[in-house]
Structure 1
Amino acid sequence: MAWQPQEAPIRELAGYLKDSLGQDRATQQRATQMLQQASQQSPDINNYLCYILVHPEPIPVPGMDANAYHIVRCSAAMLMKNNISLIPNSLSPQTLAYIKSELLQGLKDPHTGIRSFTGNVITELLRKGGIMAWSDVLGQLIGMVEGKDPSGAPIPTAVQEGAMSALKKVCQDSKKALEKDAQQPLLFMIPKFLQFTHHPSTAVQADSLEIVNIFLPMRSHAVLANIDALIASLFRLGNNPHAPLRREVCRALVHLVDIRPDKIAPIMGGVVDYLVQQQNDTDVDVSLDAAEFWLTVGEHDQLRTHLGPYLPKIVPVLLKSMIYSEEEIFRLGGEGDDAEEEDRAEDIKPTFAKSKQRLPNGESVEVIDELQNGDGDLSEGEIDEYDSDFEDLFGTDDPEGRWNLRKCSAAALDVLSTVFHQPVLEVILPYLKENLRHPEWPYREAAVLALGAVADGCLDGVSLHLPELVPYLISLLNDEEPLVRQITCWTLGRYSRWAATDPDPNNPDPQHLQKYFEPTMEGILIKMLDGNKRVQEAAASAFANLEEQSKSVLEPYIKVIVQQFVTAMRQYKDRNMFILYDCVQTLAEHVNEALAQDELVDILMPALIERWKKVKDDSRELFPLLECLSYVSTALGQKFQPFATPIFHRCIDIIRVNLEKQIAFNNNPALDAPDKDFLVTSLDLLSALIQALDSQSGILVAEAQPNFFRLLTCCMGDHNNDVRQSSYALLGDCAIYVFPQLQPYLPEVMELLIQQLDIESLSEVDQNNQNSSFSVINNTCWSCGEIALQQGKLNRNTQDASRSDGSGLGAGMHPYVESLYVSLLKIIQSSKVPASVTENAAVALGRLGLGSCDELAPHLETFAYPFLDALAKVAETDEKDTALKGFCMVVGRNPEAMESCLVPFFRAIARYKDPSAELQDLFRQTVMGYRSFIADFDAFLNQIPEGDRTVIRTVYV
């Protein structure tokens, strides 16, 4: 028998929903508690919530008029959606059957809000249970849009629009499930959506096209099969007065650039005319989506040259779009000094830790993984790739700090200038002459922005005017309008390479630095202490850019720079400290040991330590501060020693606390999950300290063990890729600098390391995400090679360490050789592994031979060729040198195994241009050994190309 509601529970539930939204706090809390209890304990709660949602007749509850009941119905929908989302298996088969039979009635409600909330519940139901949980709902919704009612009654347009909106929400939330569904529902749905672009309702037309745009970037077969019908719809709908519809037309054109550029190229002229018109539209959303086209085409290898003939049409509309709108001027213009005001918490940008990946030569590079939601897409409110790439273009000068028309237009101008160069400059020069000195600041500001946007692409042409422009820009640093000062900082930063480098090496100007670089540097430094916080931020960002561009040119000015940094450090509020840390670390990175002068250390380090003491262990400011200290410690080297001990131990404490938080969260998921960036940045600073202190680092580690290595092994086993990546980087540094302290913990370390090297355990998602799992394996291979190198030295120098009985420290690498060999060989042979990982694995395998040549010798025939092939791509470094030493030692134990790849081996020997003395001696021993081993050695050498053969004969025979 079908479920039937009872009046008493309905009235009671409606009353609680009403009270939960009331003004009386006690009543509100009691009602909320009762609703939570009912959601967890009542099997029929969702039935009643559904009933209230879809039935518009007010329930007889005191104080419940029509308006109050409407709010109650909306609240019922929200609670029902949350129940479906948060309470597993909250819907019994009976409840699901009732909801499916009733819920669509909510889409027929006259209230837009009820129809919208009903769509949200439908979407959540399908997201939680999958499309097959309600397989016929899509057909029912499509039927409603078509105006088909089972009873034959006409369906009002508003209801059709509600059904279409619900379909859009379902497609947005379940796009991958729909695309991958074995039943291929999109083959039926996409043609229907294109038919709906003929619907009398412009809202239905816009939603239909928006749905097609959801699946277009996914290159869905169902969409690609209907491309011509889609393009026909775009032409038909392009000039519709309904702005949301035109916006979707613009979006579709942007998607087609990547999906079917062959469809865009023949009609480029018409598309350009249309999008220029749309970018001039009064609707800012339409304008922004039109502007995205220029940016997308400008970055498309095949299509971008097609824009050349239309630059005189495109560039002016970009320049116009870069001027602040009246609304933006109202919100931002005329801002005064605010440097003394405390920052609001919501104004402080989160900073994310950068993971470090080790290259085969031992260098580390930073990798920033994209922050994505579970569906692999940017969550609502996150910045997209252009916003990230061009964030330094503006600092945060746009009102909401989001991607907008102004940013997009400037970024498009930047891209087009790098493609077309002088033709773009020819279009903007008249604009610059007219507006750079404009009496109204918005035009002046936009002209400075345009000048900065073309800095990379048009430098050759602009440089002719820079002797005049740079002094004028420096004067604009004192403009009354803070936004002009702000953008001027950025533009000067963009031209800092020109200021730091004489543009005419054939006719150098000995006064170039004095005339242009020094005033630029001084002007930006002064603006770092501007009375306006936005200008401070822009100046700090510009100075970090100047540091990147000028590098060693900065060395004579380090003291002045450091003094200004320290002053800023004591004046800045929390928000701008983040970019100031970047300035400090960039300086340390590029001037390196020049920063290690006693006078400079005495100025910089007390200020950094003062900030270090102020920042709490749970503050997100700790991330950039730890990263900054990593670079500073590397630059100062031994001069950092007086500050190292408390920093070292605090990092260990931070790691311990966050690991404990992880354990607590594992036991109680209701707690907040710990932020892994605390672990990543702490591990990276420990690495930097160990590298910087070199021989002295063993003292720090010795004081901290066993806690240090216990925590390190915990991090090595963490589920987070970034944490493990930094952990194995630290492990490799420990092997290099503090191996005696590490050695007692090798059994625990090697067990985890061998597990991490198993590429067969990677999921398909891991294998496709080379910036995460493979970066971990990359660092694991590197650290494995460093451990093998150190243990190999001990094996050669200590008789006890050569024991092969598998006991005690003397066992060396013996217990792990077989497992390491199997894993490293699989990595070298895999075609799915990135080159850097393959190369590190080859280095590790070669180094393993230094102390374990007897154990590897039986496998030589199997791994020799893939090893030589992988190592051939590695530059000549100490890593490659020691790897070949180990390989030669293995060859010496089993020379017969090289029969099939002796020619590649000899060619590798001949082509190694600068071997160490020890490696050269091993090469000679190896060649001479084969000379005595091979009966007709000359005939063998004739198989080797003449150039390589000559080297073998003259150097090694």
Structure 2
Amino acid sequence: MDWQPDEQGLQQVLQLLKDSQSPNTATQRIVQDQKLKQLNQFPDFNNYLIFVLTRLKSEDEPTRSLSGLILKNNVKAHYQSFPPPVADFIKQECLNNIGDASSLIRATIGILITTIASKGELQMWPELLPQLCNLLNSEDYNTCEGAFGALQKICEDSSELLDSDALNRPLNIMIPKFLQSHAIACVNQFIMDRAQALMDNIDTFIEAVSPLWGPCILINSLSSNRLIPILVNGMKYSEIDIILLKGDVEEDEAVPDSEQDIKPRFHKSRTVTLPHEAERPDGSEDAEDDDDDDALSDWNLKLIPHLIQCLSDKKALVRSIACWTLSRYAHWVVSQPPDMHLKPLMTELLKRILDGNKRCLSSVATALQSGFLPYCEPVYQRCVTLVQKTLAQAMMYTQHPEQYEAPDKDFMIVALDLLSGLAEGLGGHVEQLVARSNIMTLLFQCMQDSMPEVRQSSFALLGDLTKACFIHVKPCIAEFMPILGTNLNPEFISVCNNATWAIGEICMQMGAEMQPYVQMVLNNLVEIINRPNTPKTLLENTGGPQAWALATPLPASWRCTSLRNIRDNEEKDSAFRGICMMIGVNPGGVVQDFIFFCDAVASWVSPKDDLRDMFYKILHGFKDQVGEENWQQFSEQFPPLLKERLAAFYGV
């Protein structure tokens, strides 16, 4: 028989939910500090919460949704201690009500499902994925949409696990289900990682999405007058958006910080990759890029003043998104005369430091970038403390699981990512903070954590610290390199990518001193290159490490072929310096692939002067070595455009 609530207990829970929505600070504090803690002492409190969410349809949607969000927080904090009947009841109610008539309730149930799944329950909830996939066949729109929403969240949070043997590769069944136009959002999570199940169905995927391209082009060309107003209208926050984003709460500075304030549900760890660009067969695209830049500047001149005005909007959501949007244009703003945009922008941003809304403050910190320097020390120390406490709790849980709860490592992931952001934004200024902390010791532990997301963020931080303050990283290289080598596993693509990037940054700093550590990483790098369907971004990162230059000569064709398609940037510069270093160490190793090197060199539009000199010396050195006649025979193989570019830029 289904669990049924006690009427008095139900009324008590409903009163709690009503009080939670009160604008009165004192009432909010009583709810958080007293009532919620008191009710959490009862094992079936979570049954009441799921009951209100799924069955009490007479209540208003915000109250029902809030019940689900409180339950979600309890799941994240205490799920391991839920009695099995309570956990089973929650799971059953979620699946039975994923097609609720309210889109807000469907979204809340989807969030709850993926939160349960993220607690390691994908393996312990075998009926979840099959039932959600079966619901996709429903003729009821709400049921189908709710199932899709839940699956999309699961795909976003657990894409690597879904493509592993741990769950018997459910993607083999799920991917064909997703191959419908309404399901592209689900499939998108697996495109960059080139999940094997998607690769097996790639022809079906292309066939399914191809018919969508033509109508998009036709609509864009024939119906722009009707399309643009629709798109602009869609940019407005709906009532549901405002409820979910708490946009109706304008001033929340007096409200105690909750988990959600510092830990977004869809937190994405930093993944350092090279940009994935289209091939440029000729110089015409460069001219187009210049035109695009001019057009962008024209738009910026009109757009920036409007966004600066929005920083003073009466709505907190508008102030917040204006701060975030302006942060994307920071480089352009500082490149203009200061009086034009920079001074009015800084004036408004500094006013927002006093903003009463937390979301605005977060966006201001992003927009200020290096201007955050005076405030960085307490933030840095808070992050280090979070990492240290989480590691300590994990150790206590491992040793005495009956006495301690498992830590929520999302806190540690967020802290590691914020430290990466500080290192990247502050550059060398972060050195004194690192010197006064034990972050390198903590990083050593995080790099060996069992949770892939922790390792992923750890390697990103290692790479950023290597760039910013290598003096503190260098003493740890002997301990770090074996860990980096063992994490060059493409099964965990994001971890592997960040480990590869960190190795490249270390190689750039170490130079010839890297020699003792080459064999720790070389074999795994070769395996990545030879592996079918390796994501292109990962191939590009493996092209960069200068460890290749110190290793046994290997064909350079794969590196040159992948790197030629990247636009000029720092990562491409780093990768080509590694190739040039390899040629300098062993010129004979590249002779058979020299045409690929020539083609890759010609892909540069404006290399730095010292890199251009490297190219010049290598090209002319090769030409002098083989002689004029042999060079002419060799260059006859070049396509006309390649021959023209090498002659124009390097005189060969």
Give the direction of change, closer, same or farther, for the CA distance of 1:580–1:864 in structure 2 (3 Å limit): same
Q: Quick one: percent identity of the two aligned structures?
A: 23
Structure 1 position 524, deviation (Å): 5.8
Partner of 1:561: 348
Please say if residues 488 and 496 of structure 2, whose CA atoms lie closer than 8 Å, have aligned partners that are also in contact: yes
Query: How far apart are the structure 1 equivalents of 2:604 and 2:426?
Result: 33
Instruction: Supply the AA of the counterpart residue of 1:890.
Output: M
Segments of structure 2 that go 5 or more residues without pairing to the other structure are: 10-40, 45-81, 97-124, 152-177, 185-208, 277-296, 334-339
Q: Does 1:648 align with 2:367?
A: no
Q: Relative to structure 1, is the Cα distance of residues 874 and 84 closer, same or farther in structure 2, using a 3 angstrom cutoff?
A: same
Task: Describe the superposition over 1:389-441 as per-residue Cα deviations: whole angstroms up to 9, x where unpaired.
Answer: xxxxxxxxxxxxxxxxxxxxxxxxxxxxxxxxxxxxxxxxxxxxxxxxxxxxx
Deviation at 1:560, TM superposition (A): 3.7
1:277-302 per-residue CA deviation (whole Å, 9 max, x = no partner) reads xxxxxxxxxxxxxxxxxxxx9x9656
1:732 Cα deviation from its structure 2 partner = 1.2
Q: Residues 102-142 of structure 1, C-alpha deviation per residue, up to 9 Å, x if partnerless?
A: xxxxxxxxxxxxxxx9x969x99xxxxxxxxxxxxxxxxxx
Where 1:356 maps in the other structure, the secondary structure is: coil
Tell me if structure 2 keeps the 8 A contact 1:361–1:877: no
Distance in 1 (CA, whole Å) between partners of 2:397 and 2:328 is: 41
The residue type equivalent to 1:835 in the other structure is K
**Structure 1 residue matching 2:543: 3-state secondary structure:** helix
Cα distance in 1 for partners of 2:351, 2:526 equals 53
Is the 2:148–2:183 Cα contact (8 Å) retained in structure 1? no
**Aligned pair in 2 of structure 1 residues 733, 587: CA closer, same or farther (>3 Å)?**
closer
Residues 1:654 and 1:890: Cα distance change in structure 2 (over 3 Å): same
SS across alignment from 1:360: coil
Equivalent residue, structure 2, for 1:835: 536
- C-alpha contact 1:941 1:949 (8 A) present in aligned 2: yes
CA 752–698 in structure 1, closer or farther in 2 if over 3 Å, else same: same
- The offset of 1:348, in angstroms, is 6.5
- The alpha-carbon deviation at position 756 of structure 1 amounts to 1.2
Find the residue that maps to 2:387 and give its secondary structure.
helix
Provide the C-alpha distance between the structure 2 equivalents of 1:719 and 1:85, rounded to a whole number of angstroms: 28
| Closer, same or farther: CA 324–900 of 1 in aligned 2, 3 Å | closer
Contact 1:843–1:871 (Cα < 8 Å) also in 2: no
The alpha carbon displacement at 1:755 in A equals 1.1
Q: Match for residue 643 of structure 2?
A: 949
- Note the 1:496-535 alignment, pairs <5 A: 501-502=301-302, 517=305, 525=312, 527=314, 535=315
Which of 236, 261, 264 aligns to 1:351? It is 264
From 816, 824, 827, the counterpart of 2:517: 816
Q: Distance in 1 between matches of 2:386 and 2:85?
A: 38
* 2:486 is the alignment partner of 1:755: yes
Q: CA separation in 1, counterparts of 2:313 and 2:587?
A: 69
Is residue 583 of structure 1 aligned with residue 394 of structure 2? no
Q: C-alpha separation between the residues in 2 aligned to 1:178 and 1:720?
A: 27
Q: TM-score, normalised to structure 1's length?
A: 0.39
Distance in 2 (CA, whole Å) between partners of 1:911 and 1:635 is: 36
CA contact (8 A) 2:323 2:364 kept: no
Q: Cα–Cα, structure 1 residues 829 and 873, in superposed 2: closer, same or farther, change >3 Å?
A: farther
Shift of 1:688: 3.6
- Letter in structure 2 aligned against 1:848: A
State the alpha-carbon separation in 2 of the partners of residues 582 and 837 from structure 1: 31
Separation of aligned partners in 2, 1:782 and 1:338? 42
Change (3 A) 1:751 1:302: same
The equivalent position to 1:848 in structure 2, one of 536, 544, 547, is 547
In structure 2, the CA distance between the partners of 1:826 and 1:869, relative to structure 1 (3 Å rule), is farther
Q: If the length of structure 2 is used for normalisation, what is the TM-score?
A: 0.55
Letter in 1 for 2:565: K
What residue in structure 2 maps to residue 465 of structure 1? none
Does the Cα contact within 8 Å between 2:481 and 2:520 map onto a contact in 1? no
Tell me the residue number matched to 1:478. Answer: none
SS in structure 2 at match of 1:859 = coil
8 Å CA contact 2:419–2:461 kept in 1: the answer is yes
Task: State how 1:714-863 maps to structure 2 within 5 Å.
Answer: 714-759=445-490, 762=491, 773-792=492-511, 795=512, 812-844=513-545, 847-849=546-548, 852=550, 856=551, 858-860=552-554, 863=555
CA gap of 1:907–1:697, structure 2 versus 1, over 3 A, is same
Corresponding position: 1:665 with 2:397: yes
**C-alpha distance in 2, partners of 1:690/1:740?**
14
Match of 1:701 among 429, 434, 457: 434
Q: Which of 119, 127, 147 lines up with 1:174 in the alignment?
A: 127
Rate the CA distance shift 1:523–1:358 in 2: closer, same or farther, 3 A.
Answer: closer
**Native 8 Å contact 1:651 1:682 kept in 2:** yes
Report deviation, 1:684.
3.0
Q: Give the drift of 1:561.
A: 1.2
Counterpart code for 1:745: C
User: Is the contact between residue 310 and residue 322 of structure 2 (CA under 8 Å) also seen in structure 1?
Assistant: no
CA distance in 1, matches of 2:645, 2:237: 66
Provide closer, same or farther for how the CA distance between residues 554 and 677 of structure 1 changes in structure 2, counting only shifts above 3 A. farther
| Matching of residues 906-945 of structure 1 within 5 Å | 906-934=598-626, 936-945=630-639
Q: Name the CA shift for 1:838/1:211 in 2 (closer, same or farther; >3 Å).
A: closer
Query: Is the 1:838–1:870 Cα contact (8 Å) retained in structure 2?
Result: yes
SS in 2 for 1:583: helix
Please tell me the residue identity of whatever aligns with 2:643. Answer: R
* Higher RCO (CA-CA < 8 Å; seq separation 6+): 2
- Partner of 1:358, secondary structure, is coil
Contact 1:548/1:586, CA 8 A, preserved across alignment: no
Rounded Cα–Cα distance in structure 1 between residues aligned with 2:313 and 2:269: 33
Judge conservation of contact 1:868–1:905 (CA < 8 Å) in 2: yes
Q: Quote the Cα distance in structure 2 between the aligned partners of 1:360 and 1:686.
A: 21
Amino acid at match of 1:174: E
Q: Aligned Cα RMSD in Å?
A: 5.5
Q: CA contact under 8 A between 2:394 and 2:407: conserved in structure 1?
A: yes
Q: Does 1:710 align with 2:431?
A: no
SS in 1 for 2:271: strand
Q: Which amino acid aligns with 1:789?
A: M
Contact 2:311–2:348, Cα closer than 8 Å, also in 1:
no
Q: The residue matched to 2:556 in structure 1 has which SS?
A: helix
Distance 1:537 1:650 in 2: 27
Whole-angstrom CA distance in 1 between matches of 2:410 and 2:249? 34
Contact 2:602 2:646 in 1 (8 A): yes
Q: In the aligned structure 2, how far is the partner of 1:730 from the partner of 1:905?
A: 32
Instruction: Please state how far the C-alpha of 1:789 moved relative to its aligned partner.
Output: 0.8
1:675 corresponds to 2:408: yes
- CA distance change for structure 1 residues 946 and 748 in 2, over 3 Å: closer, same or farther? same
- C-alpha displacement of 1:833: 2.9
Give matches, 1:277-288, under 5 Å.
none
The secondary structure found in structure 2 opposite 1:843 is coil
Q: 1:784: Cα distance to partner?
A: 0.9
Q: Which amino acid aligns with 1:871?
A: L
Shift of 1:213: 9.7
Aligned match of 1:884: 576
Query: Residue type matched to 1:749 in 2?
Result: F
8 Å Cα contact 1:828-1:838 kept in structure 2 = yes
Q: Is the 8 A contact 1:718 1:724 kept in 2?
A: yes
Q: Deviations over 1:685-724 (max 9, x none)?
A: 33344345444433332333xx321111111222333332
C-alpha offsets along residues 185-221 of structure 1, whole Å, 9 cap, x if unaligned?
Answer: x9xxx9xx99xxxxxxxxxx99999699969999xxx
- Which residue number corresponds to residue 35 of structure 2? none
Residue 739 of structure 1 contacts residue 790 of structure 1 at CA under 8 Å; is this kept in 2? yes
Q: Give the AA of the match of 1:883.
A: A
For the 8 Å contact 2:353–2:361, the answer to whether it is kept is no
